[in-house]
Amino acid sequence: MPYAQDITTLPTLDLSLLDGTPAQRQGFLDELRHAARDVGFFYLTGHGIDTDVLKQVQDNARQFFALPDSEKAAVGMINSPHFRGYNRAASEITRGKPDLREQFDLGAEREVLPQDQHSPHWARLQGPNQWPVALPALKPLLLDWQQAMTGMSLRLLRAFAEALSLPREAFDRLYGDKPNEHIKLMRYPGQAPDASHQGVGAHKDSGFLSFLLQDQQAGLQVEIEEGRWIDALPRDNTLVVNIGELLELATNGYLRATVHRVVSPPKGIERLSIAFFLGAQLDATVPLYPLPTALLREARGPASDPDNPLFRDVGWNYLKGRLRSHPDVAQRYYADALIPQALSA
């Protein structure tokens, strides 16, 4: 097991080895377990997502961000109680400071849940996406990509269960038939040397697994140990994968949700990245899974931020993050959920 100070780059794992010989499959599972515990981030190859599809997703994301401001504003997140839609740069907040990126968020295309006075606040999160009229190809492309990413990520999640000596289907009841799928298109404009360079502030991801498709511009950094950051440089036809807080919580900290950030590119250069997040069903509660004794000895306990505590109730935990990140949407649609004790308990 490498020490943190010896890690200078993210490990690379080949998902296609799951279909290899028994020795190759076991080797992949061992590498997966170590990468997820020691680093919490890795490059994934052999993921099975067609290269042409990835290029189409990137090309269409660029077309979206090139639309006139008025057309992007027409699908603004401020219109959506489900936190779906466009935000201009500096709209999202991380650790109290604005992130210098513009972005377009979407989730699974589902009907609004029926509401009554007893419905939990998080039930408002489910609903339809907003789509720009000027790019009719965007909706079928991204929903098809979302479906492909969900299938691949659930396969990887089952591999995590095997790597932890749990039943292969151990996590299935958490994501169920309505996993919390979330896509985020992101454009980072270049910043002058004397400006803020917080593309995205330091944070952990919620949910199970996060996947990032990068262009050729660097910017993503991973805090491999406290105060020491390494670059997750772009690599062709790879996805950067990281562990979310739900998996950290479910394994008592054996799997590591690692702090990361994005540094803005220099003036005159922009960076495009596209993220896919797989989370549990909103009505799920995260249990503590019974790991083998040998793994339990290596579990470090979940490292929850005391200013942003992590809860086992998935829906409330996810909503709390949205309320903090998008205060304008929160004020418009969730004023009844914004009492201080609701955000800290």
Tens digits of residue pLDDT in 242-255: 999 989 999 999 99
Average pLDDT, the chain: 92
Q: How confident is the model at residue 17 (pLDDT cuts 50, 70, 90)?
A: very high
All domains in the chain, ordered by first residue: 4-343 (2.60.120.330)
Q: What is the pLDDT of residue 8?
A: 86
Q: How far is the C-alpha of 198 from the C-alpha of 261, rounded, in Å?
A: 8
Q: How far is the C-alpha of 339 from the C-alpha of 46, rounded, in Å?
A: 46
User: How do residues 166-216 score in pLDDT, each as one tens digit?
Assistant: 999 999 999 888 899 999 999 999 999 988 999 999 999 988 899 999 999
Q: What H or E segment, with its residue span, contains residue 97? A: strand 97-98
**Mean pLDDT calculated for residue range 277-285:** 93
Q: What is the pLDDT of residue 306?
A: 54
Q: How far is the C-alpha of 194 from the C-alpha of 328, rounded, in Å?
A: 28
User: Exposure pattern of 101-140 as b/e (b: 16+ CB <10 Å)?
Assistant: bbbbbbbbeeeeeeeeeeebbbbbbbbebbbbeebeebee
Q: How far is the C-alpha of 260 from the C-alpha of 278, rounded, in Å?
A: 18
**Mean pLDDT calculated for residue range 284-299:** 91
Q: What is the pLDDT of residue 4?
A: 56
Residue 302 DSSP SS3: coil
For residue 18, count other CB atoms closer than 10 A to its CB. Answer: 17
Q: How confident is the model at residue 309 (pLDDT cuts 50, 70, 90)?
A: low
Q: How confident is the model at residue 304 (pLDDT cuts 50, 70, 90)?
A: low
Q: How confident is the model at residue 5 (pLDDT cuts 50, 70, 90)?
A: low
Tokens coding 86: 């466009």
Measured N-to-C along each axis, helices 51-65 and 138-163 cross at an angle, to the nearest 10 degrees, of 130
